[in-house]
Amino acid sequence: MPNAYISGTGFHVPEDIVTNQDLVTRYGIDTTDEWIVKRTGIEARRFAPEGVGTADLAVPAVQMALERAGISNADIGMIIFATLSPDHCFPGSGVYLQHKLGLTDEGVGNFAGCLDVRNQCSGFLYGLATATSMVQSGSVDNIVLVGAEVHSAALDLSTRGRNVASLFGDGAGAVIVSATEEDRGIRSWHLGADGRHADALSQKVFDISKRPFIPLNEEGVGQVAPDYMFAHMAGRLVFKHAVERMIGALMKEFQKQSLTVDDVDLFFFHQANLRINQYVAKNLGLPDEKLFHNIERYGNTTAATIPIMLAEAQGQGRLERGMKIVTVAFGSGFTWGAAIIDW
Ligand code: UT7
């Protein structure tokens, strides 16, 4: 059985930097930099311009990852695309990305399979577990795993939506999960979910149990009320469960691998809220220098936070062969996951 390892990482964020103060001046939201920084650690986020979709953001991230892995698009055997903000209801963003990467072009034409993962903030880790198992099965050698989000289009950028709108940003991260005979790679993973809280962080733009699935006005045009159009979050409940589940997932992984915090070189926690991560880190006794973070610059990019961090860490020379890294995420569903990787 081959091992599965991350052979390349890449990321891409839009140019437009939206500071906390910009939320006030540009969008007229009743908030302050102090409130957002104190509660979340977020100072700015990026917003994609109109006309740029989720698969578009993913393309440069994947190209960087392919380059770092030293392979070309012709070597891609599978695409796994994790997002909660897909380009369209269907089909998934994976096939759009496949076409944009040229995998359907004459001469390349490998028509790699495309799978979309719908596990929100844990999407990247659900995708990593899937990619790892696929590579270990021997059926595919190189998988492009993407986490990408265009949140800005679906945020309620008004005072009414400030509790959610001030948290999220756009961005894309990608890794290549490859087969190797070397003694390295993704050692173990843990995934979990608690569907009792499915509604606690949700965006119910449509309801397929209703006839019609979107309310129609007198002209037969679909109309969605703001309560349904935009994401709803029970913030405090999410915060409490995030802390508990992240600690639980990490403890399970440590136990499985007979590890302690001291054995780990770097931790990559999902970037939902710096305070959540500091709380978890303190609880586990992690020193600050072992905790990578970038939430201050990008906000919460949901499925993209972990692959963006991995790509930035690699770019900064902080990820070296032989290091042991641990990653963990929690989010809507509720869903959570963790993984241990020998880099
Ligand atoms: O990746 C997905 C997972 N998501 C998370 O992990 C998020 C978890 N939750 C949180 O991080 C926190 O709940 C928040 C940072 C989102 C909110 O902090 P909180 O201390 O739980 O605030 P709250 O939602 O209970 O709201 C407290 C007050 C409210 O005002 P009133 O009703 O007390 O007058 C809100 O309207 O703060 C108000 N508020 C704001 N004020 C200024 C909410 N958002 C803002 C804002 N600026 N951006």
pLDDT in tens, 101-123: 999 998 887 899 999 999 999 99
**13 SS3 class:** coil
HSE, side-chain direction, 13 A CA sphere, residue 211 = 0
pLDDT tens figures, 293-323: 999 999 999 999 999 999 999 999 999 999 9
* 300 CA closest ligand 1 atom index: 1
3-state secondary structure of 187: strand
Q: Are residues 147 and 192 in the same domain?
A: no
In the structure encoding, which two tokens stand for residue 132, read together?
């790892």
Query: Is the domain of 193 the same as that of 157?
Result: no
Q: What is the dihedral of CA 49, 53, 57, 59, to 10 degrees?
A: -140
Does the annotation mark 197 as catalytic?
A: no
- The answer to whether the CB of 335 is under 6 A from ligand 1 is no
Q: How many domains does the chain have?
A: 2
Assess whether 25 and 140 both reside in one domain. Answer: yes
| 172 and 244 within one domain | no
Q: 158 by DSSP, 3-state: which?
A: coil
Same domain (yes/no): 195, 58: no
| 90, 191: one domain | no
What range defines the domain where residue 308 resides?
Answer: 186-199+230-342
Q: Is 201 left (phi over 0), alpha (psi -120 to 50) or beta?
A: beta
**Catalytic residue (choose from 114, 121, 190, 277):** 121
Angle between the 54-69 and 305-315 helix axes, to the nearest 10 degrees?
40
- Indicate whether 268 and 179 sit together in one domain: no
Q: Are 112 and 234 in a shared domain?
A: no
Residues 271 and 132 in one domain: no
pLDDT 10s digits, 246-272: 999 999 999 999 999 999 999 999 999
Residue 198 structure tokens: 């499915």
Does ligand 1 come within 6 angstroms of the Cβ of 95?
A: no
My answer on whether 160 and 190 are in the same domain is no
Strands (E), the chain: 3-12, 16-19, 44-47, 78-82, 113-117, 142-149, 171-180, 185-193, 201-202, 232-233, 266-269, 291-292, 324-331, 335-342
Residue 205 lies in a domain: no
Ranges under pLDDT 70 in the chain:
none
- For residues 323 and 272, state if they share a domain: yes
What pLDDT does residue 229 have? Answer: 96
Rounded to an integer, what distance in angstroms lies between the CA atom of residue 324 and that of residue 340? 7
With b for 16 or more beta-carbon neighbours within 10 A and e for fewer, the 10-46 pattern comes to: bbbbbeeebebebbeeebebebebeebeebbbbbbbb
Same domain for 50 and 175, yes or no, is yes
Whether residue 283 lies inside any domain: the answer is yes
Whether 260 is in a domain gets the answer yes
Which residue, among 148, 140, 137, 107, has the nearest Cα to 12 in the 3D structure? 148
List 151, 241, 270, 293, catalytic entry: 270
